[in-house]
Structure 1
Amino acid sequence: MGTIPTKSKKTLLIQLVRPIHAARGGLFISMGKGMHVHRVLPSFELIVIRSGKLGLYEENNEFDLSAGQSLLLWPDCKHGGLYPYEPDLSFYWIHFTLPEQPKKLQQSTDEDGLQFRVNQLSEPARPEYQRELLHRYLDERERGNIHPAQASLLMSQILFETSRQAEFTNISEHTTSLAGRVDSYIAANCTHSLSTSQIAKQMGYNEDYLGRIFRNAYRITITESIHRNQIKLAKSLLQSSKMNISEISDHCGFSDARYFRRIFRRLEAISPAMYRKMNSRIHINRY
């Protein structure tokens, strides 16, 4: 198979002066057989891994992708699979073209505010936002009436989220570890009713101190993190389960379905019911 690089120096310069032409896209869900075809395309392809692992090559470069990672494939470059699809693999894919194809390796250092760079291999800082934008684009396309301007704007947002890498703050190892413990606790217990005071008591720290440490590390409050984790779980259940809204609300640690709907709408800008309806229309392919 050869050496699989963990990094790639290849970048794509996106300039928001002309529209991006977004095309076909979908969600691939593996059936545990087959392999990505070997081909050369006239367009870019963005691949975002939702679950499992995917091995791909582009020309002489090989990539072993896992959940949360994104890969850009260039036009006129041969690419294909390195090994058969695994049973738990699923990934989003979307094709697009630019008004003027840039060089594969950009040397410009222009800091124009209307441009940004996307690494060929990336791990976005906000994968849930990236996936939400992908779902919105795929839903609008499945409706069959997406406007070219809307498609271009959504594709620009998807690429921008793909370009945003995790930032590291200059805080001590102890506070980083403590904040990480809080974050892990929230993720592991988001099916229960959580609060800052309850978490502080569980960990043996002052509530204000713990909240300050967490906010310095993650730039959000503990309460906000609790809500984000609960809504993240709720979105997954809305997409994959047959539970009704009240059942999902209860499963995600909310004692009041009305409060759940209010938090969901505040974070997602749509209601849980609309989110479920929107995500029932995206194109799914299994081969």
Structure 2
Amino acid sequence: MHLLNFSMPPVPHYTISGINYCGPGYRHLNRQHFKWFDLLVVREGCLYINEEDRSFEVRAGEALILRPDCHHYGTEDCREDTSYYWLHFQTVGGWHESSAPAAASEDITPDEDETAETSSPICSHQGTFIQSIPQYTTLLQPARMEELLAQLEQLKATAHLNSVRFKQQMLFQEILQQLSASMNPERSASQSKACAGQAASFLRSHYREEITTAMLGDSLNFHPVYIARCMNREYGCSPMEYLLRYRIEQSKLLLMQTSFPISRIAEEVGFNQAPYFSSSFMKLEGISPRQYRQRFS
């Protein structure tokens, strides 16, 4: 993992941000000698970007920071509708890139043997610390990140006020914390398990209702793509596959314990159409609902 290690204070500071909506055929800008770090957070679709000789495919629920001292450019056109937040920030403190987090007390002043590139001279100050941020990462809480970026969007109209500018900086510091938290493997695994468990509980509680991935994301405050990854990791299936299997399991209980007609059982477990219920049951169980019931009659 490539990490950007910032010496703090002074802290990196927010400059400006926005949101882009683009259709198929859009390609990211070709830029070099840029003045700012450029944070990209993809909401939907995928951005295909190179920074020097490194390639990135930034998908929904992922974030990438483009460095100010590197040439970056789009390598492919978007293949689908794509939207993403962008945010420019700067630092007057020192920073460097590494493959492992810097120690809290580490002096990141470069020496002649240091292999990591350093963007600026670094002074050692008593009381400073290092903040490590992944350059490219899957967000632990994509929905929270989008919420923070959306709040920055809403503040644009009043950004000339000192109180609002201070609030922008506070929101940006939480954004940095969100990025930093995503590189902790243990926390990531724990977060993934918790997210999958919450999703499973929601699906089990609402299986009789019509459920969409968007509804699930809104209820859990996680991006639907992240929820799907967590459930695939923990249960080996997507949320909708999990819901389908659970509905079929509930239908088996009704087939055994009641004399309800097949159409009512389909309705009881969340299927809008009995034929779809029967075909789904056949696909998972290898026999029809009627044949399954006959086993216990």
Task: Give the TM-score band, short-chain normalised.
Answer: 0.5 to 0.7
CA distance in 2, matches of 1:76, 1:96: 13
> Is this contact kept in 1: 2:26–2:77, CA < 8 A?
yes
For 1:164, the equivalent position in structure 2 comes to 181
Alignment partner of 1:27 is 2:19: yes
- Give the number of the structure whose alpha-carbon radius of gyration is greater: 2
Aligned length: 188
| Distance apart, 1:153 and its partner CA | 1.9
Is the 2:50–2:73 Cα contact (8 Å) retained in structure 1?
yes
Q: Is 1:141 the equivalent of 2:156? A: yes
- The farther-off stretch of 10-19 and 125-134 is 10-19
Change beyond 3 A, Cα 1:142–1:179: closer
CA deviation digits over 1:223-256, x for unaligned, max 9? Answer: xxx99843749xxxxxxxxxxxxxxxxxxxxxxx
Instruction: Specify the alignment match of 2:64 in structure 1.
Output: 71
Q: What are the equivalent positions in structure 2 for 1:60-139 lying under 5 Å apart?
A: 60-105=53-98, 109-111=102-104, 115-139=130-154
Q: TM-score, normalised by structure 1?
A: 0.56
TM-score, structure 2 length as denominator? 0.54
CA distance 1:103–1:189, change in 2 (3 Å): same
Specify whether residues 230 and 80 from structure 1 end up closer, same or farther in structure 2 by C-alpha distance, changes over 3 A only: same
Which secondary structure state, in structure 1, belongs to the residue aligned with residue 189 of structure 2?
Answer: coil
1:54 to 4, 24, 47: 47
Where structure 2 has 5 or more consecutive residues not aligned to the other structure, the ranges are 106-127, 223-297
Q: Kindly, what percent of the aligned residue pairs are identical?
A: 20
Closer, same or farther: CA 230–181 of 1 in aligned 2, 3 Å: closer
Classify the secondary structure of the residue corresponding to 2:97.
coil
Higher relative contact order structure (alpha carbons within 8 Å, sequence separation ≥ 6): 1
Query: Which amino acid in the other structure matches residue 127 of structure 1?
Result: P
Quote the offset at 1:187 in angstroms. 5.7
Whole-Å Cα distance in 2 between the matches of residues 157 and 12 of structure 1? 17
Q: Name the SS for the 1:168 alignment partner.
A: helix
| Inter-partner Cα distance in structure 2 for 1:50 and 1:64 | 13
Contact 1:191 1:230 in 2 (8 A): no
Task: List runs of 5+ in structure 1 lacking aligned partners.
Answer: 1-8, 171-175, 195-225, 234-287
Residue type of the alignment partner of 2:88: H
Q: CA 1:115–1:150 in structure 2 vs 1: closer, same or farther (change >3 Å)?
A: farther
